[in-house]
Amino acid sequence: MGKTELESGKFDIFNFSPPGPVGARYIQSTAPINLIMGPWGSGKTVATVFKIAYHAASLFPVCRDGAVHVRCAAIRDTYREMAKTALSSWHGFFPKNGPYTRQPVAQNYSGGQDRPVKHILEWKTIRKWPDGPRLTPIILEMEFGAIGEQNLDSFFKGYEISMGWMNECDLLHEDVPGRFYGRTGRFPPRSEIMEWEGDRLGWETDEEAGTSVIKLPRLIMGDYNPPDESNWTYKRHIEEPENWTGYSFFQQPSGLSPQAENRRGKTRADYEAEEKAFGGPTNSEARRNVHGEYAAKKQGTVVYDRFSLHKHRSDSFIEPVRELPFYLGLDAGGTPACGIGQFMPNGQFRGLREIVTTPDTVTGPSRFSEQIMEVLLADFAGMRCGGAWGDPSAWYGADKIRGELAFMETVSLALQIPIIPTESNDLKSRIEAVDWYFGSDIDAVTPRSLWDPRMKHTIRGFVSQYHLTKHASTGKTDSAEIEKNQYSHIQDAWQYLLYGYRGRAAVKRDAAQMGRPANVVPMRSVTARADFDVFKT
């Protein structure tokens, strides 16, 4: 498939060149909601400015007066922030007294100083008419506003627009995209559109009148720097894209990547200096603003700062390789958790499934076993279990004289899978066992671990939620203390799996070698009863 006009750099409206391939695809996209995310200075805002101009000139219909009429609203959280970002970038290319402002200027530019701004542009471009190409006027009305403390319903009520721009959209309420999109398709009025434009745009049925009307283009767009994973953009981009099909996300590469965008505006040396100023590549601010990745809240030191969403999180669901055994890691307690994964012949570990229990109820070993068995029967039936490891403390506390079974003994018996306690419960060793899989890659294209995107608790933990306590983060204690939350139990489960599989000696050796690759530990096989049904015991 060849490059688009934008990707090839030939798109020259107002002599503009896209910041890079990602920016070009974002500009050209006609999806309902288009959001571009990237590091500082990657050209996101400028790309949005020209996305508006590009679609005004090429997408929207010719009206009966012979001109294309487009109205776009740009919104931000406050007017002052709007003036510093979106409006500043807009004026950089379309100044108030510039050649594209419709004349007379006094009637076509108004507002400013902590209040809405309206700027009307006019230029001509070649558009297709039934009798051939014609030089056609484009009249673009830009309205800049800020939501502030206003009620969303009252703020959007008066908008009748063609398209919309959410500047720094992560700072806006999660309901804004839907409300904003609901105001598009209202300008220009359909009664003013040339009827022959229906051949290009298509037709739809007006539900109220029951008549066939021209289908108007509708789109909104947004730009943002990566926030932390609690933001609504993370949920819709990373965790639940299948539930937000109207969204198209465009993620630009790291500012230090060979594929970095907007190199004309910001050099590699600029990003290197910023990374150092932030304290290095693992600092959360550096990960967000230099590398363009979602990163942690400032609540405690993130344990797995080498985990990378774009590298270690699979873009698609991962299914088990049926010819290879699976492995389990289990954490006990009132909210137990289980991780299930496989080791590939090339040494890659694949995290496949997570079983987590809710913190509002205590889950005993019998119910926990049922939850694990449901997953095993659904996704791993007929496959071999290569090994299972758990929290050593979960083998204690039972009254052996009275015949009581400890937590892990009960689970092991129910699953008919031998579960082995790890050699120790040393937290640092367990963490090192997992962190090794986020270090050096197997080769140029193969990360040492890959994780199924459906495991939301696991991935959120890696990104930010599995972190040290504030005391441990600030050095007020010599021990590594983990903040216990709903994400920490599944992290413990993965630690038991990988620490148990690799063994204490290998973990220590690799930590001493600073994570350099080593030989893969041979697989061990224990055959599980695939037809075992915990519900019938």
DSSP 62: B
What pLDDT is recorded for position 298? 54
Per the structure, the complete domain to which residue 245 belongs is given by 13-250
Q: Which range, of 132-146, 400-414, 460-474, 487-501, averages the lowest pLDDT?
A: 460-474
Same domain, 44 and 185: yes
pLDDT tens-digit readout, 415-472: 999 999 998 899 999 999 999 999 889 998 899 999 999 999 999 899 888 887 644 4
Q: Contact, 101 vs 88, CB < 8 A?
A: no
Q: Rounded CA gap, 262 and 47, in Å?
A: 10
Angle between helices 21-28 and 44-58 (to 10 degrees): 40
Same domain, 244 and 366: no
Same domain, 350 and 224: no
Q: Rounded CA gap, 498 and 327, in Å?
A: 9
Give mean pLDDT, residues 82-86. Answer: 91
Q: Is the pLDDT at 206 greater than 50, yes or no?
A: yes
Q: Is residue 390 part of a domain?
A: yes
Q: Is residue 304 part of a domain?
A: no
DSSP 63: B
Residue 241, preceding peptide bond in cis (omega within 30° of 0)? no
Q: Is the pLDDT at 214 greater than 70, yes or no?
A: yes
Q: Is residue 298 part of a domain?
A: no
Same domain, 235 and 346: no
Q: Is residue 394 part of a domain?
A: yes
Q: Contact, 167 vs 75, CB < 8 A?
A: yes
Same domain, 333 and 463: yes
Q: Is residue 58 part of a domain?
A: yes
Residue 401, C-beta contacts closer than 8 angstroms, at least 6 positions apart: none
Same domain, 335 and 244: no
Give the amino acid at 295: A
Q: Which one of 234, 250, 266 terminates a domain?
A: 250
Q: Is the pLDDT at 69 greater than 70, yes or no?
A: yes
Query: pTM of the prediction?
Result: 0.74
Q: Is residue 334 part of a domain?
A: yes
CATH number at residue 197: 3.40.50.300
Q: Which one of 250, 277, 292 terminates a domain?
A: 250
Give mean pLDDT, residues 131-138. Answer: 95
Same domain, 385 and 509: yes
pLDDT tens-digit readout, 300-316: 678 888 898 888 999 89
Q: Is residue 255 part of a domain?
A: no
Q: Which one of 200, 227, 250 terminates a domain?
A: 250
What pLDDT is recorded for position 149? 73
Total number of domains in the chain = 2
The terminus-to-terminus CA distance of the chain in angstroms comes to 57
Same domain, 240 and 344: no
CATH number at residue 456: 3.30.420
Give mean pLDDT, residues 376-396. Answer: 93
Q: Is residue 311 part of a domain?
A: no
Q: Which range, of 41-45, 186-190, 530-534, averages the lowest pLDDT?
A: 530-534
Q: Is the pLDDT at 17 greater than 90, yes or no?
A: no
Using pLDDT thresholds of 50, 70 and 90, give the confidence band for residue 284.
Answer: confident
Give the amino acid at 281: P
Instruction: Report the DSSP pairing between strands 385-390 and 420-421.
Output: parallel
Using pLDDT thresholds of 50, 70 and 90, give the confidence band for residue 173.
Answer: very high
Same domain, 234 and 337: no
Question: Token match 């307690």: residue?
Answer: 333
Q: Contact, 197 vs 62, CB < 8 A?
A: yes
Residue 87, C-beta contacts closer than 8 angstroms, at least 6 positions apart: 74, 117, 144
Same domain, 211 and 342: no
Question: Token match 């983060």: residue?
Answer: 473
From edge to edge, which strands make up the β-sheet containing 163-167? 109-111, 117-129, 132-146, 68-76, 163-167, 219-224, 33-37, 247-251
The SS3 assignment for 499 reads: helix
**CA–CA distance from 440 to each of 185, 433, 447 (Å)?**
50, 13, 8
Same domain, 232 and 339: no
Using pLDDT thresholds of 50, 70 and 90, give the confidence band for residue 480.
Answer: low
Question: Token match 């720097």: residue?
Answer: 225
Same domain, 482 and 362: yes
